[in-house]
Chains A and B, each alone.
Chain A
Amino acid sequence: NAGVMQNPRHLVRRRGQEARLRCSPMKGHSHVYWYRQLPEEGLKFMVYLQKENIIDESGMPKERFSAEFPKEGPSILRIQQVVRGDSAAYFCASSSRENTEAFFGQGTRLTVV
């Protein structure tokens, strides 16, 4: 009875490196959402995906950030050439349908040094 699984839980990258964050939704869920939470702040929507499709990426920075949800395998949030300001907790959530309750993974805490 696995919930939303994110890995790694903690990720340390040097400035300029790439960060890859993975999210496996709950069984039966085909909708995946990525959120970013800066220290002492609320959740900020980044991107909403269904299998093989990006539905809404209005919260994604225009450069360096990309996301995918392939037919097979987990959803990936990719951050290229990371900077210190990318340090945050990145949460993935999944739902069975749009506009219904979403369940969160444990998050990936990215630290850029």
Chain B
Amino acid sequence: QKEVEQNSGPLSVPEGAIASLNCTYSDRGSQSFFWYRQYSGKSPELIMFIYSNGDKEDGRFTAQLNKASQYVSLLIRDSQPSDSATYLCAAGYTGGFKTIFGAGTRLFVKA
């Protein structure tokens, strides 16, 4: 059973701090990893994807991938109250054709 695990949270950080969201996956065959943000009552919105080991930066967001440890993370610098949402980690499986989602981590950024 392929799984993607996330801490459900909630993770609470003060405004301006770095929020660190973590995710592990069970199948070493997965090759692509995605972070989605979902506001309450809304649909998931893709914010980052990463395919290679290391870091990938986009504005205030940095995705980190460590395939040896089967670990993916998302760092949000200078967190804003508008970043408060549920963050979904997802792994794509070549040959399996479907993307598996974690249950999501709720992030609260306190003003």
Contact = CB atoms under 8 A, between A and B. Distances in A.
Interface of A: 33, 35, 41-45, 48, 55-56, 58-59, 91, 98-107
B93 interface: yes
Contacts of A45: 98-101
B3 to A, nearest CB: 11
Interface stretch (B12-20, B39-47, B61-69, B76-84): B39-47
B34 interface: yes
A91 B46 contact: no
Interface residues of B, number: 23
Interface of B: 31-32, 34, 36, 42-46, 49, 88, 92-94, 96-104
Contacts of A42: 88, 101-104
A21 to B, nearest CB: 14
A95 to B, nearest CB: 9
B98 A56 contact: yes
Given A48-B97, A99-B99, 10 more contacts: A33-B98, A42-B102, A45-B100, A56-B98, A98-B97, A99-B97, A101-B32, A101-B46, A101-B49, A106-B43
Contacts of B93: 99
Given A56-B96, A91-B43, A107-B43, A100 B32 contact: yes
A99 B44 contact: no
A99 B94 CA distance: 6
B52 to A, nearest CB: 14
